Amino acid sequence: MVELLYETKEFAQRYRKTENKSLLYARGLTLLTLGILLCGYFAIAVIFLASDKGITKSQLQEAPHIPIPDLEFTFNYHFNITCTFRYLDGRESTPDACSSYITQPACNLSETDARWHGWFTATEGLVFNKTEKLNAVWYTIRIDDPRYIRGNDAGMLVRAYDSDFNPRTVPVSVNARAKEVDSEFFATLENLNLHVIGFQQVNWMFINRHIRRKMVPNFWAVLGAPPSYFDTSYITTKYESVTNPTTASAYANQSINGTQLYSNLYVGAMDWYQDVSTETRMRHITDSLALLSGFYGLLVGTYVLLFGFMPIVPWGFCQAFCMRRKVKRSLHKQYPKSIPLIETSGDDETINERINYLEQFLKQFVCDVDYMEDIREENKLNGMVDEVGGDATDEAEKS
């Protein structure tokens, strides 16, 4: 950028006096065109950066532990729930081992629907465990409401939630944070895994777990630093059911006396994997700056190809603008009689002083001679080694 700025300055001050009009016009038109191209490329980079919404990368990861889902049962009649844990090797727990996770149905008559709601809540880190071979929960649902008539039964609603993000049990702070990241997240969970259980049915629900890693917006992530994430999890289900036609028809249009088996529900893991979706940005400020720098280098190269190399610029923005006066005072202290290449020689300045000033100026601002100084010192050492080696050889020959 400094090169083009200085070249614009040179065009206005020097080239008008030293070059013919045709070359001057061509140089000016090229500078204007390159400036417009650079500004246009910068605007495009800013637009792309501002419009970057990120992409989502999905990865299937092995999960030896999968949280057992929370269930909500909703029915127009009173019912009760029991459950047992089932294992891959055929074992089955007692109902007592599962009863602590069940909240038996309750009905709030003040609510508009006045239905019975029961819950299974997987507290205390209850998970399907591949190592322990725990892979399913078997629910038995019974009804004992004398108002029940088979012909009026519209089915029992069952909603399944990932136990880490059940809207009913998730902490308030986590709930608020999740809504900040995705305002519709909990609304989509309401009917995502809604199923209907019918009378005298055996139902199977197989779950797949998904983890969604959403980026938390912050300035450093835009610059290219690793972003921070807020993880939310949910499940999807595959549901199947079979009705026992014999027992179902036997209770048609009949009321319930005592307790009657309503349905069974099997809830298990589909497999021991979970899908992890990670949100990531496609573009960062650092990437855009790198592309802009490359494009700028291309423009400068094009200009050099057309008009040759620009004069060497030994100073940058700091010397030319920010600390201009300090640099000027420092130069006058180093070169009290005249600044080489900038000021004309004074009357009291000899040719030797002028040459010494010029050599010092070139070493200080234009040519890096430290490397040559190192080579000279190495040559001196090599010469000394050669001399010592030659003397030792001569003495050996004499002896």
Q: Is residue 111 part of a domain?
A: yes
Whole-angstrom distance, CA of residue 68 vs CA of residue 122:
6
What pLDDT score was predicted for residue 183? 82
What pLDDT score was predicted for residue 387? 60
Q: Is residue 341 part of a domain?
A: no
Q: What is the CB neighbour count within 10 angstroms for residue 233? A: 17
**SS3 state of residue 49:** helix
Same domain (yes/no): 96, 244: yes
Output the average pLDDT for the chain: 82
The angle subtended at Cα 187 by Cα 115 and Cα 269, nearest 5°, is 80
How many domains are there within the chain?
3
Q: What is the CB neighbour count within 10 angstroms for residue 41? A: 18
Distance of CA 221 to the CA centre of its chain: 7
Q: Is residue 298 part of a domain?
A: yes
Whole-angstrom distance, CA of residue 337 vs CA of residue 360:
14
What pLDDT score was predicted for residue 174? 85
Q: What is the mean pLDDT of residues 78-101?
A: 94
Same domain (yes/no): 202, 304: no
> Residue type for 260, please?
Q
CATH number at residue 268: 2.60.470.10
DSSP letters of 11-44?
Answer: IIIIIHHHS-HHHHHHHHHHHHHHHHHHHHHHHH
Model confidence, pTM? 0.64
For 237, the token pair is 């289900």
Q: For 133, left (φ over 0), alpha (ψ -120 to 50), or beta?
A: left
pLDDT digits (tens, 9 = 90+) for 108-143: 766 667 789 999 999 888 999 999 999 999 999 999
Same domain (yes/no): 19, 70: no
What pLDDT score was predicted for residue 42? 87
Count, in order, helices (H) and strands (E) of the chain: 13, 13
Lowest mean pLDDT among 245-249, 290-294, 321-325: 245-249
Supply the range of the domain harboring residue 174.
59-280
Query: Cα-flanking dihedrals φ and ψ of residue 65, to 5°?
Result: -130, 120
Same domain (yes/no): 104, 199: yes
Same domain (yes/no): 110, 41: no
User: Cβ distance 45 to 295 under 8 Å?
Assistant: no
Whole-angstrom distance, CA of residue 232 vs CA of residue 181:
10
